[in-house]
């Protein structure tokens, strides 16, 4: 069945060290998207905090949260249900003794998908993600929603063709990749902004 679906994305650069402020900023952007009749809205990767992977510092493990036992999930579930919107939510997940860069999709009824855990973990100047994240163990995911089938990878996943190919073969109507990258002013030799 053919239907028109409006998809919106956001990227906010003035991310604070205050998680509540960042969540409120994300909700304000989602509210604005809703006023523009957007049905599927993508926030950036790990939007609850500043991108901490540019350094290796054990204190940042304190930012990890458990799913679904964190208020953020109820907050965004209520938002999606109230506004009839679909939103993938990227978060730093603590599961048992492992840490993952994860995502859960919330549908327009406020229900949660299975978790997707980032498969490809970069390690290089400014992206010390292997210090923090275990490679994902979920395989690629496509989620059935009221607005079609949504495939979700996370950031560096999009550089690997098998991610998009697999989700397409699984029936994805749209593929989304939340990312924390905007530009790389500290690494002019590694500037991937034009590629993004």
Ramachandran angles phi, psi of 102, nearest 5°: -125, 170
146 is catalytic: no
- Identify the active-site residue in 25, 118, 129, 163: 118
CB 43 within 8 A of CB 79: no
118 is catalytic: yes
Give the per-residue SS3 of the chain: CCCCCCEEECCCCCCCCCHHHHHHHHHHHHHHHHHCCCCEEECCCCCCCCCHHHCCCHHHHHHCECCCCCHHHHHHHHHHHHHCCEEEEEEEEEECCEEEEEEEEECCCCCEEEEEECCCCCEECCEEHHHHCCCCCCCCEEEEECCEEEEECCHHHHHCHHHHHHHHHCCCCEEECCCCCCCCCCCHHHCCCCCC
- Identify the active-site residue in 53, 80, 152, 155: 155
74 is catalytic: no
- Identify the active-site residue in 45, 53, 152, 163: 45
Catalytic residues: 45, 118, 155
């Amino acid at each position: 069945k053919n239907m028109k679906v409006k998809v919106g994305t956001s990227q906010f650069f003035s991310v604070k060290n205050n998680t509540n402020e960042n969540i409120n900023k994300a909700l304000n952007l989602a509210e604005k998207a809703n006023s523009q009749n957007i049905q599927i809205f993508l926030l950036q990767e790990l939007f609850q905090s500043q991108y901490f992977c540019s350094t290796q510092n054990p204190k940042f493990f304190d930012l990890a949260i458990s799913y679904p036992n964190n208020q953020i999930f109820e907050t965004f579930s209520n938002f999606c249900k109230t506004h009839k919107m679909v939103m993938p939510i990227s978060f730093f997940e603590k599961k048992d003794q492992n840490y993952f860069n994860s995502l859960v999709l919330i549908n327009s009824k406020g229900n949660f998908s299975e978790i997707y855990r980032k498969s490809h973990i970069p390690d290089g100047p400014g992206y010390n993600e292997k210090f923090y994240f275990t490679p994902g163990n979920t395989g690629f995911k496509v989620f059935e929603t009221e607005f079609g089938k949504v495939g979700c990878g996370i950031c560096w996943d999009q550089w690997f063709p098998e991610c998009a190919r697999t989700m397409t073969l699984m029936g994805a109507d749209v593929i989304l990749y939340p990312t924390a990258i905007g530009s790389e002013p500290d690494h002019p030799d590694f500037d991937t902004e034009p590629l993004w």
